[in-house]
Amino acid sequence: MNEFFENDTPEEAATPERKVLTVRQLNEDISSAIARAFPRSVWVRGEVQRLPQDAARRTHVYFELHETGGSGAAEYQMSASLMGWDRQRFGLGRYLDGTDPDFQIANQIEVCLECKVDFYAKFGKMSLKVIGVDKNFALGRLEARRRQTLAYLEAQDLMQLNAQVPMPELPLKVGLITSPGSAAEQDFRTGLAASRWGFTVNMTGAKMQGEQLQAEVMRALDKQVAAGVDVIVITRGGGSRADLSWFDQQDLAVAIARCPLPVITAIGHDIDRSIADLVAHDSCKTPTAAAEYLVDIIDAEAARLEEATERLMLRVEEVLGEAAERVAVEERLARAATGAVLRARLRYQEAAGRLQHLVSRSLAVRHQRLADLQARLGNSTIGHLAQGESRLGRLAQGMESRALGLLLAARNGLAVQQRRLAREAVRPLEPWSRRLAGYETQTRLLDPRRLLQRGYTITMGSDGKAVQQAEGLAPGDKLTTVFVDGRIQSIVQPGADVGTNSSGKAQKSGGKKGKTDAGQKTLFR
């Protein structure tokens, strides 16, 4: 190489010697240039990406800031970090662990961060070290996205779509969508278990925060619809406004609005309502409030059923009383008709007896006269006697024929009067008989035994009367529950919660039965 330089021309030898830098020198020069270009911190905005899920527990947190182009893909990106000492010095931990009431840094959220531009010379790596957060910028971006989503839902007439889905009268099969094992799940289940109704909960787990929330909740909605539940509840505990902003996503709101089942949200935020709350059938503040909402629906239906049962029993008693009174009237009319017929027969017999007596007495008088004439004509000629006897015989025969005619006419007249009396006596009873038949049909339809055949039961005390309220029961009281195919005996044991016992009214017995000490009690299940 020395020979090469020795043979160079003078012009070539005059060329300045090139400057060769080591990697260290280059990196240190770049670091110095960056330090001179950015002597103070700068505010940088971008979308958070690659933020670790356990960022709140890490000492140093590394992530990226992206800027997307018109295609939606990231065109520019920069590494960023939140170092442990800066986290403590500037109080930035609250934006990672959720203790800030309004904002929490998360993936896919556009943020504005105060950063120091740093170039680490040893590794030749440039990054942004976060020393401040403008949470109002992020909240403003979230609010803009929220308004855009609301405008879309309004334009598509989706805001009230799920509210128009009819709520089942007895929503006992509940589809629950929440984070498995969370306090929200426990509070909701505890609220349902505290009631006296037989709720069943079909649980589907889903993320309740972060970029996976929308996809998982939408899949859970489809699973609950396929499972055939009565109502769907989406619930989680409280959180910051940024946490709850995940429930403002457009696709999730559309899925809730178009769900064929009523959806109840209990996102757990007392101040703001998410878009999911706005498009749901109903929204509650807490998981416990959602459970109470469903319990209130069942309580209202039970109260209406008990009220209808009471009205039915009262009406049955009224109809039975009216029917009994009408039956008594019909019986009195029947007895009166029977008495009239008997009296008519007696008058007929008396008239026939008097007629027969008159005929017999007339014949006796005639015979007496004939005897007198025979005595007076003792010496008359045989011809006169025979003639007289003949005349007397014809006269007697005529008298007998006339008497028999009168007797037959009297009998026929009495028979006609008897038939007429029978028709006239029955005619006033016909409308009453028809009405009585109608009441008998109504009485048969309202017979309490039909309620038993339909699956209801009647609980009676030791005095044989129906138990109206559980408050009057005491330990040791004997109860009799009547079913359509028999009855069972039960005894109220000490320590039993008699305040929740079923009343003595007719109740449905087709569902599950909860245990009441040594006996049974009928519940709506």
CATH classification at residue 62: 2.40.50.140
Residue 242 pLDDT greater than 80, yes or no: no
Distance between CA atoms of 204 and 185, rounded to whole angstroms?
11
Same domain (yes/no): 314, 437: yes
Please choose, from the candidates 302, 203, 353, the residue with its C-alpha nearest in 3D space to the C-alpha of residue 522: 302
Write down which residue in 445, 480, 514 finishes a domain: 445
Encoding tokens for residue 136? 């109002």
Whether residue 178 lies inside any domain: the answer is yes
Residue 99 pLDDT greater than 70, yes or no: yes
Residue 503 pLDDT greater than 60, yes or no: no
Provide the domain limits for residue 486. 451-522
- Highest-confidence segment of 151-165, 260-274, 321-335, 364-378: 151-165
pLDDT band at 272 (very low <50, low <70, confident <90, very high): low
Encoding tokens for residue 75? 């065109």
Q: Which residue has the tokens 């007496």?
A: 368
Residue 255 pLDDT greater than 80, yes or no: yes
Whether residue 378 lies inside any domain: the answer is yes
Residue 514 pLDDT greater than 60, yes or no: no
> pLDDT digit string (tens) for 342-355?
887 777 777 777 77
Encoding tokens for residue 193? 């278990």
> pLDDT digit string (tens) for 38-89?
999 999 989 898 999 899 999 999 999 998 776 667 788 999 999 999 999 9
Write down which residue in 398, 419, 445 finishes a domain: 445
Query: In 10 A of CB 517, how many CB atoms?
Result: 17
Distance between CA atoms of 423 and 416, rounded to whole angstroms?
11
The CATH number covering residue 402 comes to 1.10.287
Same domain (yes/no): 410, 513: no
Whether residue 142 lies inside any domain: the answer is no
Whether residue 86 lies inside any domain: the answer is yes
Whether residue 418 lies inside any domain: the answer is yes
| Whole-number pLDDT of residue 128 | 94
| Whole-number pLDDT of residue 38 | 94
Residue type, 195: S
| Whole-number pLDDT of residue 521 | 39
Query: In 10 A of CB 105, how many CB atoms?
Result: 24
Higher model confidence: residue 367 or residue 131? Answer: 131
Same domain (yes/no): 84, 178: no
Distance between CA atoms of 401 and 406, rounded to whole angstroms?
9
Whether residue 139 lies inside any domain: the answer is no
Higher model confidence: residue 6 or residue 488? Answer: 488
Same domain (yes/no): 161, 224: yes
| Whole-number pLDDT of residue 396 | 72
Element (H, E) at 458: strand 456-460
Please choose, from the candidates 163, 140, 159, the residue with its C-alpha nearest in 3D space to the C-alpha of residue 149: 159
The whole-number average pLDDT for the span 191-208 is 91
The CATH number covering residue 203 comes to 3.40.50.280
Please choose, from the candidates 50, 47, 51, 81, the residue with its C-alpha nearest in 3D space to the C-alpha of residue 67: 47
> pLDDT digit string (tens) for 126-151?
999 999 998 888 777 777 788 888 88
Element (H, E) at 276: helix 275-279
Same domain (yes/no): 472, 414: no
Residue 501 pLDDT greater than 50, yes or no: no
Same domain (yes/no): 356, 413: yes
| Whole-number pLDDT of residue 524 | 31
Residue 341 near residue 421, CB atoms below 8 Å: yes
Residue type, 504: G
Same domain (yes/no): 236, 171: yes
Write down which residue in 99, 133, 167 finishes a domain: 133
Quickly list DSSP for 315-344. Answer: HHHHHHHHHHHHHHHHHHHHHHHHHHHHHH
Same domain (yes/no): 127, 163: no
Cβ-count burial 294-317 (b if 16+ within 10 Å, e if not): bbebbeebbeebeeebeeebeebe
The whole-number average pLDDT for the span 264-291 is 85
Whether residue 461 lies inside any domain: the answer is yes
Same domain (yes/no): 402, 331: yes
SS3 letters across 155-197: HCCCCCCHHHCCCCCCCCEEEEEECCCCHHHHHHHHHHHCCCC
| % of the chain residues with pLDDT over 90 | 33
Same domain (yes/no): 118, 241: no
| Whole-number pLDDT of residue 246 | 83
Q: Which residue has the tokens 């971006």?
A: 141
Element (H, E) at 44: strand 42-49
pLDDT band at 334 (very low <50, low <70, confident <90, very high): confident
Q: How many structural domains comprise the chain?
A: 4
Residue 490 near residue 461, CB atoms below 8 Å: no
| Whole-number pLDDT of residue 494 | 82
Higher model confidence: residue 25 or residue 98? Answer: 25
> pLDDT digit string (tens) for 414-466?
888 878 877 777 777 778 778 888 888 877 777 777 778 888 888 888 888 88
Whether residue 140 lies inside any domain: the answer is no
| Whole-number pLDDT of residue 346 | 79
Query: In 10 A of CB 371, how many CB atoms?
Result: 10
SS3 letters across 133-157: ECHHHHHHHHHHHHHHHHHHHHHCC
Q: How far is CA 124 from CA 23, 28, 38, 40, 42, in A?
A: 9, 9, 17, 21, 21
Query: 429-445 vs 382-426: helix axis angle to the nearest 10?
Result: 40
| Whole-number pLDDT of residue 68 | 79
Encoding tokens for residue 220? 């859970």
Same domain (yes/no): 61, 122: yes
The whole-number average pLDDT for the span 401-413 is 82
Encoding tokens for residue 449? 């035994």
Cβ-count burial 268-285 (b if 16+ within 10 Å, e if not): bbeeebbbbbbbbbbbbb
Same domain (yes/no): 13, 104: yes
The whole-number average pLDDT for the span 161-186 is 93
Quickly list DSSP for 16-30. Answer: PPPP---HHHHHHHH
Distance between CA atoms of 4 and 89, rounded to whole angstroms?
61
Distance between CA atoms of 363 and 400, rounded to whole angstroms?
8
Residue 100 near residue 128, CB atoms below 8 Å: no
